[in-house]
């Protein structure tokens, strides 16, 4: 029962993150977490500055809105394919190759999925490297904080997992699904096998 609840909470966490950061990309996950779309994952789009009346002269040029990698159809398609390889096919090694082929390893969403894939393959050292790379790219990538916190718990680093939980609270509060799933995992007795 606990495993089902945790899987459901993990799925909700991941789905909510994707709904926020990747509205143009359909969600293909059958469950499972670690994906790459948590809050703050995609670069935010800047709104163009308000238009000025023609009678007022502007002394500076308007900033060009930032583009998201997901605006590139080829990137978005490749990312969706890698995502499906992870969550539908559970083929983590192939997904890592697909993600590297995107050519944007430093993008938080990509690095997070690579870290997740290595963790699922049991390579915790490489998984850690990629989670840290994702956070270097985007220190507020809440889904990486969530899954890296779960990684910490799995490694027996309860104090670090609590640190990650507090960091999530700073980013999205205690009501977000990323906070709730990590808090639920911390409430489980030590040594409980986590499924995420």
Phi, psi of 9 (to 5 degrees): -65, -40
Axis crossing angle, helix 108-120 with helix 124-137, rounded to the nearest 10: 170
pLDDT at 193: 61
* The two structure tokens encoding residue 125: 């050292």
pTM (2 decimals)?
0.66
Which residue, 95, 99, 118, is CA-closest to 110? 99
* The two structure tokens encoding residue 106: 């430093």
* 160-181 confidence digits (pLDDT tens): 999 999 999 999 999 999 999 9
Can you identify the CATH homologous superfamily of domain 2-40+68-187?
A: Tetratricopeptide repeat domain (1.25.40.10)
* 21-79 confidence digits (pLDDT tens): 443 333 333 233 433 343 333 332 223 333 333 333 334 444 445 568 888 999 999 99
pLDDT at 123: 95
- Per-residue burial over 104-131, b if 16 or more Cβ lie within 10 Å, else e, is beebbbbbbbbbbbbbbeebeebbbebb
* 77-131 confidence digits (pLDDT tens): 999 999 999 999 999 999 999 999 999 999 999 999 999 999 999 999 999 999 9
| Residue 141, pLDDT above cutoff 50 | yes
Which residue, 133, 91, 84, is CA-closest to 109? 133
Name the DSSP class of 72.
Answer: S
Indicate the domain borders of the chain: 2-40+68-187
* CA dist list (Å): 168 to 13, 119, 171: 12, 20, 5
Residue 32 contacts residue 10 (beta carbons within 8 Å):
yes
Taking the C-alpha atoms of residue 146 and residue 33, their distance in angstroms, rounded to an integer, is 9
* Cα end-to-end distance, the chain, whole Å: 14
pLDDT at 62: 47
* The two structure tokens encoding residue 148: 């890296």
Which residue, 110, 106, 115, is CA-closest to 82? 110
């Amino acid at each position: 029962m606990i495993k089902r609840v945790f899987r459901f909470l993990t799925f909700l966490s991941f789905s909510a993150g994707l709904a926020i950061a990747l509205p143009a990309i359909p969600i293909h996950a059958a469950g499972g977490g670690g994906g790459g779309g948590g809050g703050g994952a995609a670069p935010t789009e800047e709104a163009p500055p308000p238009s000025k009346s023609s009678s007022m002269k502007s002394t500076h040029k308007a900033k060009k809105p930032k583009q998201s990698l997901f605006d590139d159809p080829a990137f978005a398609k490749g990312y969706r394919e890698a995502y499906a390889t992870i969550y539908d096919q559970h083929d983590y090694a192939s997904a890592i190759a697909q993600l590297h082929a995107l050519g944007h390893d430093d993008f938080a969403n990509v690095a997070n999925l690579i870290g997740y894939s290595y963790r699922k393959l049991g390579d915790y050292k490489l998984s850690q490297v990629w989670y840290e790379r994702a956070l270097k790219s985007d220190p507020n990538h809440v889904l990486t904080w969530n899954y890296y916190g779960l990684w910490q718990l799995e490694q027996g680093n309860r104090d670090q997992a609590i640190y990650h939980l507090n960091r999530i609270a700073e980013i999205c509060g205690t009501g977000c699904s990323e906070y709730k799933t990590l808090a639920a995992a911390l409430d489980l007795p030590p040594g409980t096998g986590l499924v995420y």
